[in-house]
Amino acid sequence: MDIFNEKRTELERHEFMMGVERGRLAVALDLLTDSLIMVGQHGVYCASSRNPSKPALDLQAVLAGMEGAKQLIQSVMEELRKSREQGNKGLRD
């Protein structure tokens, strides 16, 4: 099953509220957040042998990559919002 079928309800809701691009990015952000939570929980049980207060190094790398992806998605959503607002200002003038 592909993601468009699996997350159809969420996609339709977010696309209606935010537009297609931002709506899909919002759903992607939710998926990343859910995945980060699961990996973080897994990290509790897979602690680093060098530093037991931190997750294993491979999990640290996965978490860092996912956090980076979230930041990129958030920045794109913000740029799309700004672009949309500037377009609406031009229509009012």
Containing structural domain, residue 54:
3-82
Residue 93 lies in a domain: no
Residue 92 lies in a domain: no
Looking at per-residue pLDDT, the higher value among 92 and 13 belongs to 13
CA nearest to 33, candidates 2, 9, 10: 10
Give how many domains the chain has, as a whole number: 1
Q: Is the pTM of this model over 0.85?
A: no
Q: Is the pLDDT of residue 50 over 90?
A: no
Residue 88 lies in a domain: no
Residue 89 lies in a domain: no
Residue 71 lies in a domain: yes
| Integer Cα distance of 76 and 40 in angstroms | 25
For residue range 73-82, list pLDDT tens digits in order. 999 999 998 9
Residue 66 lies in a domain: yes
| 34: region left, alpha or beta (phi > 0 left; psi from -120 to 50 alpha) | alpha
Burial class (CB within 10 angstroms; exposed 0-12, middle 13-18, buried 19+) of 42: middle
For residue range 24-42, list pLDDT tens digits in order. 999 999 999 999 999 888 8
Residue 87 lies in a domain: no
